[in-house]
Homo-oligomer: A and B are copies of this chain.
Amino acid sequence: MSLDVQLPGLNLKNPIMPASGCFSFGREYSQFYDLSELGAVIIKAATKHQRLGNKTPRVAETKSGMLNAIGLQNPGVSSIIADELPFLSQFQTSVIANVAGSTVEEYEHVARSFKDTSLIHAIELNISCPNVKEGGVQFGTDPELAFEVTRRVKEQSNVPVYVKLSPNVSDIVEIAQAVEKAGADGLSMINTLTGMKIDLHKKQPLLANQVGGLSGPAIKPVAIRMIYQVYQAVDIPIIGMGGVLTPEDVLEFLLAGASAVAIGTANFKNPMICKEIIDALPETLSSYGFSSVKEAIGGAHNG
């Protein structure tokens, strides 16, 4: 059974990778299994300077999901390059750097900084952060802003750029097409849905940040729908994510149109999940009649 997939910048031995923000820079999970097993690792968001993130509580459980409002806590791009990437480079796996910022300039700076290292293979451009200059609109909800930030980050990058789309939009296809036109090499979808939980005891939003991002199996149907729709409208590959828990879920993402699949929240329930899914994938694929991962990609569009 061949699990390999070739994508811009990424020669993946299998389509499975931990999702950004759920795996830090890999150290913690490396006590559970050899990270060389992974197709790739998407590291925690990098910003220009260190960020402390939001006040706690930062997470809350919801039915078949969770909310998080970490607030992009990270040590800053230079420290990531100096202290974290060398650790990851000991494993035989691709590294995707998640790039975040509050302004186009910050995005450009972070992308440019990653030029100094050969230890990343692609950029995941996280356009779900609020754009401070434009008054808190998310780059990811306005096609023109999305186009602009993609175009400018592409100019600063020497590796392929996958743009990570926000699902909190009326028309995901419009955004996907805008970033494709701006030169994106691929898409990564979906980021979290914006949600809230109220603390009944305290009678106020449970998260200190009030709202948080909803992830986990609860959002899988939204992810599948968006990937299915976008697959039909663009020609660049999609890294799919949102609620993956089982090898069957991975197959569902592939059929919908994803070329690779990232796993976020499920790592918290089961730190072995990525490895267990990689091990189980050949049997799952063959039980549904596939002899390779490539064969399954987009398979639900043939009907």
A residues sitting closer than 8 Å to B (CB atoms) are 62-65, 67, 141, 168-171, 193-198, 200-205, 210-212, 214, 217-222, 224-225, 228, 243, 245, 248, 251-252, 255-256, 288, 299-300, 302-303
Question: Which are the 8 A-B pairs with shortest beta-carbon distances?
Answer: A195-B221, A218-B218, A63-B217, A196-B225, A64-B64, A204-B303, A63-B64, A141-B170
Given A218-B218, A228-B196, are A299 and B203 neighbors across the interface (CB < 8 Å)? yes
Contact status B220-A252, CB under 8 Å: no
Q: How far does the alpha carbon of A251 sit from the alpha carbon of B201 in the complex, in Å?
A: 11
List residues of chain B with CB within 8 A of the CB of A201: 288
Query: Contact: B211 with A225, CB < 8 Å?
Result: yes
A215 CB, min distance to chain B CBs, angstroms: 10
Nearest-neighbor residue (CB-CB) of A196 within chain B? B225
Chain B residues lying within 8 Å of A200, measured Cβ to Cβ, are: 248, 251-252, 255, 288
Q: Is the CB of A252 within 8 A of B203?
A: no
Smallest CB–CB gap between A117 and chain B, Å?
Answer: 35
Give A268 Cβ to nearest chain B Cβ, in Å. Answer: 15
Contact in complex: B203, A62 (CB < 8 Å): no
Q: What are 30 A-B residue pairs whose CB atoms fall within 8 Å in the complex?
A: A62-B217, A63-B218, A63-B220, A63-B243, A63-B245, A64-B64, A64-B217, A64-B218, A67-B221, A168-B170, A169-B169, A193-B193, A193-B222, A195-B221, A195-B222, A195-B225, A196-B224, A196-B225, A197-B252, A200-B255, A200-B288, A201-B288, A202-B303, A203-B288, A203-B299, A204-B303, A211-B225, A214-B222, A217-B218, A218-B218
Contacting residues, chain B, for A194 (C-beta < 8 A)? 222, 225
- Which residue on B lies nearest to A138, using beta carbons? B170
Chain B contacts for A300, CB-based, 8 A: 198, 203-205
Residues in B neighbouring A224, C-beta threshold 8 A = 195-198
Q: Which residues of B contact A65 (CB under 8 A)?
A: 64, 218, 221
Cβ distance A245 to chain B, nearest Cβ, rounded Å? 8
Q: Which chain B residue lies CB-closest to A142?
A: B170
CA distance A107 to B177 in the complex (A): 33
Closest to A303 in B: B204
**Known pairs A196-B221, A196-B224, A205-B300. 13 more at Cβ < 8 A?**
A63-B218, A63-B245, A64-B64, A195-B221, A195-B224, A196-B228, A197-B224, A198-B252, A200-B251, A202-B303, A204-B303, A211-B225, A218-B221
